[in-house]
């Protein structure tokens, strides 16, 4: 059986104001061809199909058009779980209709975890695979909040909740396999942050839970999974060095920090309970380039790109000692008449001058939302013994805002 694992499409995402629909369409067309060329039987999409909970009409069109084409290919089943960027109610709305096309959508966890255990059948209607399709688990799905809890208590509850959830669905899958009296493989899916997971600055990957955010360790996943298909982290990677526990990564670079990163999807060949994994590299549909340094360095790099007739979107990070108030004007002159379009200019010299009165060692890129809140507490001279609790409340508020399903009634 041939299975393809992908995730984190983020259809509809923009890059510094530029729409990227042509890239998404090119990727989905390429993915359709990969499915056909490799005789894929099952496609697994491990969350973050869309970039926002209310995707545009064009983003939806790309999604449904792709599903329509793939269901008419060699692919017998598509399994889609929601990520933290997706609206569970939006993904679930056409669930019953899509099910008739063998597209299985799990937008959120329900009272019956049996709903997350899918028995997929072949063309002869014989069971061939069990998928534990666990969507992004929101805080409220796995933890009951109690007054007086410490950050450590909350983190432990989150970790225990995730472990318990996966253990339960795995047990249900094993029971179904036993009832079927068939030695068919079990594959797990999820959308979460594992301990030691690699991220890149500017990739848009945000922490999912409060505190230090309960990164999940590899030993929390049941050993009955022949393969674990994860989403959320945009860098393709194994979990704890295990070949059969993987993040496929995002197929498109989400920011300039990923400009040189090789993107891929995971081709899984299952024979019985054994699994062989092969990475298929995703082509670059829109080239991104980043140049950084003083003016001479930046100018030299741009001249090299022009000489190579490079067609790209460009990020410029100026860190020279000279204060250049006309940096944008100079750069636009250099790229006029070329295939280079500048999407972002970061003038570190100007930023540092502005921030110097606040903190000599800081730049905007050094501060995350928690650090900004901590600086606010410091600026307003909040007593030290009150800061930990206020920071915890702030994190819980952010988590609630991120997890709110705006499209639900």
**At 88, which CATH number?**
3.60.21.10
Q: Are residues 170 and 65 in the same domain?
A: yes
Per-residue pLDDT, 366: 56
State the pLDDT at residue 395. Answer: 67
User: What pLDDT shows up at residue 206?
Assistant: 52
Classify residue 105: in a domain, yes or no. Answer: yes
Whether residue 408 lies inside any domain: the answer is no
In a domain, 409, yes or no: no
pLDDT in tens, 206-246: 555 444 445 678 888 999 999 999 999 999 999 989 999 99
322 and 350 part of one domain: yes
| Owner of token pair 């059986």 | 1
Query: Is residue 295 domain-resident?
Result: yes
Same domain for 110 and 149: yes
Q: Which two tokens stand for residue 23?
A: 């890239």
Same domain, 329 and 246: no
Whether residues 271 and 294 fall in one domain? no
Say whether both 154 and 253 belong to one domain: yes
- Does 258 lie in the same domain as 124? yes
- pLDDT, tens only, 278-295: 999 999 999 999 999 999
Any domain includes 350: yes
| 171 and 304 part of one domain | no
Residue 67 within a domain: yes
Q: What is the CATH number for 378?
A: 3.30.160.720
Residues 313 and 264 in one domain: no
Q: What is the pLDDT along the chain (409 residues), one digit of tens a residue?
A: 999 999 999 999 999 999 999 999 999 999 999 999 999 999 999 999 999 999 999 999 999 999 999 999 989 999 999 999 999 999 999 999 999 999 999 999 988 999 999 999 999 999 999 999 999 998 887 766 666 667 677 777 888 889 999 999 999 999 999 999 999 999 999 999 887 777 766 555 655 544 444 567 888 899 999 999 999 999 999 998 999 999 999 999 999 989 889 999 999 999 877 889 999 999 999 999 999 999 999 999 999 999 999 999 999 999 988 888 889 999 999 999 999 999 999 887 665 554 554 554 555 555 666 777 777 777 777 877 777 767 766 766 666 555 666 665 5
Domain-ending residue, one of 234, 257, 281: 281
Same domain for 303 and 277, yes or no, is no
* Residue 105 lies in domain: 2-281
Domains contained in the chain, number: 2
pTM for the whole structure = 0.84
């Amino acid at each position: 059986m041939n299975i393809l694992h992908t995730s984190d499409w983020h259809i509809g995402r923009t890059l510094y104001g530029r729409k990227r629909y042509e890239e998404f369409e090119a990727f989905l067309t390429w993915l359709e061809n990969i499915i056909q060329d490799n005789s894929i039987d099952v496609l697994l999409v491990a969350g973050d199909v869309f970039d926002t909970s209310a995707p545009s009409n064009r983003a939806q069109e790309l999604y449904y058009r792709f599903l329509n084409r793939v269901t008419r290919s060699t692919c017998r089943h598509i399994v889609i779980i929601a990520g933290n960027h997706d609206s569970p109610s939006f993904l679930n709305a056409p669930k019953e209709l899509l099910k008739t096309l063998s597209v299985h959508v799990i937008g959120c966890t329900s009272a019956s975890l049996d709903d997350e255990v899918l028995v997929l059948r072949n063309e002869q209607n014989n069971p061939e695979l069990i998928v534990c399709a666990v969507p992004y688990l929101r805080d409220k799905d796995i933890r009951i909040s109690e007054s007086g809890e410490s950050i450590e208590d909350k983190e432990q509850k989150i970790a225990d909740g995730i472990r318990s959830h996966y253990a339960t669905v795995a047990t249900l899958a094993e029971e179904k396999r036993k009832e079927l009296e068939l030695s068919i493989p079990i594959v797990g899916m999820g959308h979460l942050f594992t301990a030691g997971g690699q991220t890149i600055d500017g990739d848009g990957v945000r922490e999912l839970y409060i505190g230090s955010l309960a990164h999940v360790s590899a030993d929390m996943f049941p050993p009955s999974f022949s393969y674990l298909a994860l989403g959320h982290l945009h860098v393709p990677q194994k979990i704890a060095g295990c070949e059969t526990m993987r993040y496929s990564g995002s197929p498109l670079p989400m920011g300039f920090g990923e400009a040189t990163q090789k993107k891929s999807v995971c081709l899984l060949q299952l024979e019985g309970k054994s699994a062989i994994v092969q990475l298929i590299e995703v082509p670059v549909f829109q080239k991104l380039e980043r140049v950084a340094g003083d003016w001479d360095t930046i100018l030299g790099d741009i001249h090299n790109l022009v000489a190579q007739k490079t067609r790209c979107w460009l990020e410029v990070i100026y860190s020279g000692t000279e204060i250049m108030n006309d940096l944008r004007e100079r750069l636009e002159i250099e790229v006029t008449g070329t295939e280079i379009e500048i999407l972002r200019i970061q003038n570190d010299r100007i930023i540092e001058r502005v921030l110097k009165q606040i903190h000599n060692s800081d730049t905007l890129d050094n501060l995350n939302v928690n650090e900004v809140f901590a600086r606010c507490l410091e600026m307003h001279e909040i007593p030290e013994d009150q800061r930990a609790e206020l920071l915890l409340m702030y994190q819980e508020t952010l988590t609630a805002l991120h997890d709110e399903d705006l499209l639900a009634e």
